[in-house]
Amino acid sequence: MTEYTAPLRDMHFLLHDMGGLAQVREMPGFEEADGDLVEAILEEASRFASNVLSPLNQSGDTEKASWNATGVKMPKGWPEAHQLFSQGGWASLSAPAEFGGQQLPQLVGALVEEIWNGANLAYTLFPMLIRCTQQVIALHGTDQQKAMFLPHLVSGKWGGTMALTEPHAGSDVGAIRTKAVRQPDGTYRLSGQKIFITYGDHDLTENIVHLVLARVVGAPEGVKGISLFIVPKILPNEDGSLGLRNDVHCISTEHKLGIHASPTCVMAFGENEGAVGYLVGEENQGIQNMFLMMNAARFAVGLEAIGISERAFQRAREYANERIQGTEIGSNSEERVPIIKHPEIRRQLMAMKTRIEAMRALSCTIAISMDIAASHGDPKIRNYHQQMVELLTPISKGWFTENAVDITSQGIQIHGGVGYIEETGAAQYYRDSRILPIYEGTTGIQANDLVWRKVLRDSGSSIKRLTDEMREVQLALEAQTNQNLVSISWSLNDSIENLLSATDFILEISPYNQKRVAATATSFLELFGLVCGGWQMARSALVASKKPKENKHDTFYTGKINSARFYADHYLSKTAHLSKLITSGSMAVLEGEDLFK
């Protein structure tokens, strides 16, 4: 028994049947990513995930990353696994070829990253951070910085971090106090404390590249005075060899609910002579430069949500097939049956499965837009897809992660009492997933980002254009003869209407009642997420309905239609409630100023 098997069949469906790969292969630079190559990559990733990463998941949780004054020690087997990962070229999958990367589409990168997350979430944070660090330096670094850092990041030889948070500056990045002092040689000396730094220290790589937000002495207050620095753990010499130890140290790690093997570090910069830092981009432009990394990371957290959900689903499905308990309802037989025969267990498995399918399809749609936005020849099309990426990133971060918490909870529930026992594993997924709606910006932060920056700022034009795309799918479904498809199309139609009325409502009230908009933002995010998921399920059902009839051993395509029907019945039907809540239910949130004193 393997603990985790990559869901290659569904990925195949998204790449090929749904036409995702063909779409990105039209972009310049991706011509070579043909079906055979991509299938080979996914199969190799699947093997690596099942054989190397997944077996370290539970032992990592139990053993944990451990701190002492010399640094953080990773659990047994982890350094070797990272070495294999790097040697396999996995850290460079979507990195540009000029720095040694394989320059594969984000679409492929996203599916592979989901596989790593399903195999071992606590580990996968590490290559995710390396990738984000690569991207920031590739986009904003000087040629010298690129030459010095990128090859080592692309090869996976060096680690990366995002060092933003300080005790008094979490969601409020503008409150950062870490200080940077300009030196005559053009470098800076940084001093200050950062907290919640994921993989801030470890023994997986010989060096770690911290991307640090700090305030140059004399800079303006708030977000406009924040600059971005590269602060290596060990300073590289001109020739690329490792030089002096920099003045940056992990002074403790947190005891967390989950992702125990991922060290969450308190980092002290410049406790002695000051930590040497290299400015990235211009002074005081740090927030803009970091935003790229934050957005990439937010999309990546969505992939974490899918991966951990899939793992929880596979374990629950296996248990439901094996566990014998009770007799079949409506049958006179006294024979005990596997619990999968009980409708309540099937309902829970369907609730897990269908949301995972919806999220995976949506994440592919976002990744495709990333690829088009990066490489299409027509700037109008690039721009449209960039807007779609920005509009949908809060859904990936906000809605996917809330789903993951619920899905991993259902994974426990299907196990009954056994699910509460740590050895079973289901409890770990529940603990691990609980960070997802928090880090890289809580769901509330995503919801406000969505409403203010992505919907209201362009007066709803992006979201309305997206609903036009949805409407095309809906009309195509409505024209089918299969009653299930027609029924799904009606649900999708109602849901789009519900989303549009909620959108119109917040557009109307936002000029004069910002608090009321803020009070409904999370409901709006959920509503939008549900509709986006329904759109993807409807697309999948439409594609599946055109496939030849299967035999009884393979019901993948009819299963897709059934999934879409379940999703419509159970999730799209929530949109009426949410739309009503947004348009009329927010007053009681704001009344009673002293209620919580």
Q: Report the site for its own copies in 407-426 (rule: CB under 8 A).
A: 409, 412-413, 416-417, 419-423
List, as own/partner pairs, every contact residues 289-292 make where C-beta atoms lie below 8 angstroms and the sequence separation is at least 24, other chains included.
289/136, 289/139, 289/140, 289/228, 290/136, 290/162, 290/164, 290/211, 290/213, 290/228, 292/135, 292/136, 292/139, 292/140
Report if residue 336 touches its own copies, rule: CB under 8 A.
yes
Instruction: Kindly state the smallest distance separating residue 346's Cβ from its own copies, in Å.
Output: 5
The Cα 575–Cα 581 span in angstroms is: 10
Residue from 34, 47, 97, 168 binding its own copies (CB under 8 A): 168
Report if residue 584 touches its own copies, rule: CB under 8 A.
yes
Residue indicated by tokens 């409150």: 175
Question: What are the CA-CA distances from residue 352 to residues 26, 317, 479 (Å)?
Answer: 34, 10, 29
How many other C-beta atoms are found inside a 10 Å radius of the C-beta of residue 189? 17
The Cα 469–Cα 464 span in angstroms is: 9
Residue from 199, 439, 505, 535 binding its own copies (CB under 8 A): 439
Q: Tell me, what DSSP letter sits at residue 237?
A: P
Of 153 and 582, which has the nearer Cβ to its own copies?
582
Instruction: Kindly state the smallest distance separating residue 437's Cβ from its own copies, in Å.
Output: 7
Residues numbered 489-548 forming contacts with its own copies, rule: CB under 8 A: 513-516, 518-519, 521-522
Report if residue 576 touches its own copies, rule: CB under 8 A.
yes
Contact region for its own copies (CB under 8 A) — 378-386, 465-473, 501-509, 570-578?
570-578
How many other C-beta atoms are found inside a 10 Å radius of the C-beta of residue 319? 21
The Cα 296–Cα 465 span in angstroms is: 23
Write out 73-112 in H/E/C secondary structure.
ECCCCHHHHHHHHHHCCHHHCCCCHHHCCCCCCHHHHHHH
Of 255 and 380, which has the nearer Cβ to its own copies?
255
Residues numbered 232-261 forming contacts with its own copies, rule: CB under 8 A: 254-258
State the number of binding residues for its own copies (CB under 8 A): 97
- Those residues whose C-beta lies under 8 Å from the C-beta of residue 440, and which sit 6 or more positions away, are 294, 297, 298, 301, 397
Contact region for its own copies (CB under 8 A) — 70-78, 237-245, 374-382, 565-573?
565-573
Instruction: Kindly state the smallest distance separating residue 3's Cβ from its own copies, in Å.
Output: 17
Instruction: Kindly state the smallest distance separating residue 330's Cβ from its own copies, in Å.
Output: 4
Of 104 and 339, which has the nearer Cβ to its own copies?
339
The Cα 364–Cα 561 span in angstroms is: 19
Report if residue 2 touches its own copies, rule: CB under 8 A.
no
Of 32 and 422, which has the nearer Cβ to its own copies?
422
Instruction: Kindly state the smallest distance separating residue 214's Cβ from its own copies, in Å.
Output: 19
Report if residue 262 touches its own copies, rule: CB under 8 A.
no
Report if residue 193 touches its own copies, rule: CB under 8 A.
no
Rounded to a whole number of angstroms, the CA Rg of the chain reads 24
Residues numbered 358-417 forming contacts with its own copies, rule: CB under 8 A: 405, 409, 412-413, 416-417
How many other C-beta atoms are found inside a 10 Å radius of the C-beta of residue 370? 25
Report if residue 549 touches its own copies, rule: CB under 8 A.
no
Of 256 and 465, which has the nearer Cβ to its own copies?
256
Residues numbered 90-149 forming contacts with its own copies, rule: CB under 8 A: none
Of 144 and 171, which has the nearer Cβ to its own copies?
171
- Those residues whose C-beta lies under 8 Å from the C-beta of residue 428, and which sit 6 or more positions away, are 57, 58, 61, 258, 422
Report if residue 176 touches its own copies, rule: CB under 8 A.
no
Residue from 430, 505, 528, 535 binding its own copies (CB under 8 A): 430
Contact region for its own copies (CB under 8 A) — 242-250, 278-286, 494-502, 560-568?
560-568
Full DSSP string of 432-500: HHTTTTTTTS-HHHHHHIIIIIIIITTTTHHHHHHHHHHHHHHHHHHT-S-HHHHHHHHHHHHHHHHHH
Of 45 and 176, which has the nearer Cβ to its own copies?
176
| Largest distance between two CA atoms of the chain | 87
Chain centroid, CA 17 distance in Å: 24
Of 389 and 521, which has the nearer Cβ to its own copies?
521
Residue from 79, 281, 444, 460 binding its own copies (CB under 8 A): 444
The Cα 346–Cα 343 span in angstroms is: 5
Instruction: Kindly state the smallest distance separating residue 324's Cβ from its own copies, in Å.
Output: 7
- Those residues whose C-beta lies under 8 Å from the C-beta of residue 301, and which sit 6 or more positions away, are 396, 397, 400, 401, 436, 439, 440
Length reported for the chain: 597
Given 254, 440, 550, 593, which residue is catalytic?
A: 440
Of 206 and 254, which has the nearer Cβ to its own copies?
254
The Cα 441–Cα 299 span in angstroms is: 12
Active site residue 344: no
Q: Write the binding mask 316 to 335 for its own copies: x where contact by CB under 8 A, - elsewhere.
A: -x--xx--xxx--xx---x-
Which amino acids are annotated catalytic? 440
